[in-house]
Structure 1
Amino acid sequence: MSDNPWLVVTGGTAGPGYAQRFATMAAEGADLHGEARRVHGLLDAEPGDVLDAGCGTGRVATHLAELGHRVVGVDLDASMLDEARAAAPSLPWLLRDLATLDLHRRFDLVVGAGNLWPLLTPGTHARVIARLAAHLRPGGLLVLGFGLDSEHVPFTLPDGVPFPDLHAYDTAAVGAGLQLLVRTADWDGREPYTGGGYAVSVHRRGSTTP
């Protein structure tokens, strides 16, 4: 059995339930596109190449494609990707482990929404950030938003799996050649992060990184 926290918690069968949840939220008028708007703004509203890491059912990636971006979605959960393909069959949805990711191409921006960081397989966090950074063009952006405690992650992590903190994330980013540009407490980018339980971090890959 996989030791990935997401697959342990969900059994790899969460796709249909997640798709229905978001469909219900959309029908009730909920705004589901805050992450995509932030990415769109960071790219100056110009079409770009975007990798959605941990894309789930494709909510963020699909809206980015609607905004004109060239998007690739990757995820470890086949049931989530099945829902993404059903909703947007023209987009590339790839079953991949981020710790060994190698797509043989680079992107203007890599986005990780939906609590990607706390759900990574224990022991792979720094490796995943290094692989995501390796998929960025020089000057490209890595944007991750995630909860830092049980109040901001909507499920219980498996026993013995701690919430990785921001220090660990920043250490991994520095090791991958990334520079922190800005950190906020929301995806709108308006509320400065001052130590709460949720953070959205924007890092840039150095322009001279090979």
Structure 2
Amino acid sequence: MDAPNPRTPSRWEELIAEDPAHSTRYVDRFRSLAAEGHDIVGEARLIDAMLARGSRVLDAGCGAGRTGGHLFAAGHTVVGVDVDPVLVAAAEADYPGPTWLVGDLAELDLPARGVAAGFDVVVCAGNVMTFLAPSTRVAVLAGFVRHLGPGGRVVTGFGADRGYGFAEFLADAETAGLTADLRLSTWDLRPFTVDSDFLVAVFSRSA
């Protein structure tokens, strides 16, 4: 019998393998920013504005929980998934209430873990898309589509010059079954232009 294909590690996991303290510094950085009064929930405010109260949100690549935590506090049901157990543990400690899970977005199957699909929004913020293994990008986006409910939307945001061109990303999203309904250059609704160095994209499931 052939051996199963080895799992492809994400770029984030490769980074952690090179520097095991990276995750802890990441958690400490956002805790410090929050303690100093900095705005760390701009992404969550945009998502909240798109939703009816009590909607279901999948925080894909949830990190230490700042986006999903804010959305839970705003009255939504939130499931957060991240490949990094250090970040998930921080989310559980700092933002109790949502369901926080360790998992690989390239193998996302929440129903198999007892969590129903049918999300109103899948949000993937914090440059998560650029930390994926390139070979898994379309699979990750297709997984988002499978987890959407009727009328659900996928919202992603990441910066330029991170190894994933915007045109390539939009083509991958189309391949995965998504239609780009809106492109912005910031989470506070500034329009996207050819010179923008950040892309926030709002997608619906393709017809």
Q: TM-score, with normalisation over the residues of structure 2?
A: 0.87
TM-score when scaled to structure 1?
A: 0.86
Pairwise CA RMSD: 1.8
1:74-128 CA-partner distances (Å, limit 9, x unpaired): 0001111111111123321111111110112120000001101110012011111
1:33 matched to 2:44:
no
Report 1:145-164 matches (<5 A): 145-150=157-162, 163-164=163-164
1:173–1:138 distance in 2 versus 1, CA, 3 Å: farther
Task: Work out whether 1:8 is the aligned partner of 2:14.
Answer: yes
- Which amino acid is the alignment partner of residue 174 of structure 1? E
> How far is the alpha carbon of 1:64 from its aligned partner?
0.5
The answer on whether the counterparts of 1:137 and 1:205 sit within 8 Å (CA) in structure 2 is: no
Structure 1's unaligned 5+ residue stretches are 151-162
Structure 1 runs (4+) deviating above 4 angstroms are none
1:1-210 matched pairs, under 5 angstroms: 3-11=9-17, 13-43=21-51, 45-104=52-111, 105-150=117-162, 163-206=163-206
Q: Is the 8 A contact 1:186 1:198 kept in 2?
A: yes
Q: RCO greater where, 1 or 2, for CA within 8 Å and sep 6 or more?
A: 1
Aligned pairs, number: 194
Aligned with 1:17: secondary structure?
helix
In the alignment, the residues of structure 1 paired with residue 168 and residue 200 of structure 2 have an alpha-carbon distance, to the nearest angstrom, of 15
Partner SS for 2:152: strand
Distance 1:193 1:50, change over 3 A: farther
Q: Cα offset for 1:19?
A: 2.2
Q: Is this contact kept in 1: 2:58–2:121, CA < 8 A?
A: yes
Deviations 1:187-209 (A, max 9, x none): 01133333322110000114x6x
1:17 shift after superposition: 1.8
Aligned-partner residue type, residue 185 of structure 2:
A
Q: How much has 1:42 moved relative to structure 2? A: 1.4
Q: Which runs of 5+ in 2 are unaligned?
A: 1-6, 112-116
Counterparts of 1:171 and 1:52 in 2: how far apart (Å)? 22
Percent identical residues: 40
Q: Which has more helix, going by share of residues?
A: 2
Q: Name the aligned partner's letter for residue 33 of structure 1.
A: V
Deviation digits for residues 125-161 of structure 1, max 9, x if unmatched? Answer: 11110011110112211000001215xxxxxxxxxxx
Q: Distance in 1 between matches of 2:21 and 2:136?
A: 23
8 Å CA contact retained: 1:47, 1:68:
yes
